[in-house]
Amino acid sequence: MRILITGAGGFLGGRLVQRLAPTHEVIALVRRAPASPRAAARYVEQDLGRPLDRAQLPAQLDAIIHQAALIDGAGQADELLFRVNVIATWELLRYAEAAGCARFVHASTGGVYGCRNRPFVESDPFNPMDLYSLTKAQAELAVQAAPGDFHRVVLRYFFPYGVGTPNPIPQWVRRALSDDPLPVSRRGVPRMNPLHVDDAVEATVAALQLNQRAVVNIAGDEVTTIAALAQLAAAHAGRQANLVTVADDTLLPYYRADLVADTTRMRQLLRFSPSISLAEGIAELARDANQADAH
């Protein structure tokens, strides 16, 4: 297949390029081309804060995997989040149709559901609790509404983690290793089922094979808590994590209830099950944190 991957320099996108480039023709959309590319892909520079320049993209394409998103909009104008996360998605959808794409795989987030004390199923309503998640919910609506007869698969990732993830799991690991106090809820919320990035990549590759429209939660097998993750990490330093229990109203709104995905559809539709345990994934993050400290 000839596949365009956006966000190709990012945490998930970069790994997808490496995974798919050996067996597919990959066009890697990046804000800035890498000095020494890690994969045999054609790198195309595009700032998605600006209109999509179709002239530098292929006229024909088989698939788009849209990973690019502005996640941490802190210090940026609010409108840039709408521009990058929603308008650029719409432009890529229109381009997908014009280029004769057969499929569009869209990276979304479990954050579109908000938080709740039972596992989320894909038919649950949107309840975004911050601007980023609001724009991700709007991008999903754009994916569903765009004209064209290509298959579209929306993947709602739940805490994909590994070295370099923009989510806070590596920070919790570092704090646990260095004995820094880590605030956790008295009630043990949020419970969550994170997924190692290598598994998230495999789930995304599986979605590329799907011949239907679908929205699918992408999450791990094991339900855990911030405290349990910290204890797993602290064990690598031979100690207990320094947990400080706090009242719920001092936690981020997203952390005042659970963030657990029901993964029935992921298993049935994608025929995918995670293979990397939390113990293995946290051990990798602990090793990385220790190496960073040693330098």
State the residues that interact with ligand NAP by CB under 6 A: 7, 9-13, 31, 47-49, 67-71, 84, 107, 109, 136, 157, 159-160, 165-167
Nearest position to ligand NAP, beta carbon: 10
What is the spatial distance between Cα 111 and Cα 69, in angstroms, rounded to a whole number? 14
Q: Minimum distance between the CB of residue 101 and ligand NAP, rounded to whole angstroms?
A: 18
Q: Minimum distance between the CB of residue 228 and ligand NAP, rounded to whole angstroms?
A: 18
CB atoms within 10 A of CB 52: 19
Task: Name the residue nearer to ligand NAP (CB basis): 14 or 184.
Answer: 14
Task: Name the residue nearer to ligand NAP (CB basis): 68 or 214.
Answer: 68
Task: Name the residue nearer to ligand NAP (CB basis): 74 or 294.
Answer: 74
What angle separates helix 11-20 from helix 197-207, to the nearest 10 degrees?
Answer: 60
Task: Name the residue nearer to ligand NAP (CB basis): 85 or 185.
Answer: 85
Task: Name the residue nearer to ligand NAP (CB basis): 84 or 286.
Answer: 84
Hunting for tokens 């724009």 — which residue is that?
135
Q: Minimum distance between the CB of residue 59 and ligand NAP, rounded to whole angstroms?
A: 21
Give the torsion sign (CA, 6, 7, 13, 14).
Answer: positive
What is the spatial distance between Cα 151 and Cα 131, in angstroms, rounded to a whole number? 28
CA dihedral of 80, 37, 168, 111, whole degrees rounded to 10: 50
Q: Minimum distance between the CB of residue 19 and ligand NAP, rounded to whole angstroms?
A: 13
Give the residue from 274, 203, 229, 218 showing the smallest Cα distance to 15. 203
Assign 57 to helix, strand or coil: coil
Q: Minimum distance between the CB of residue 240 and ligand NAP, rounded to whole angstroms?
A: 27
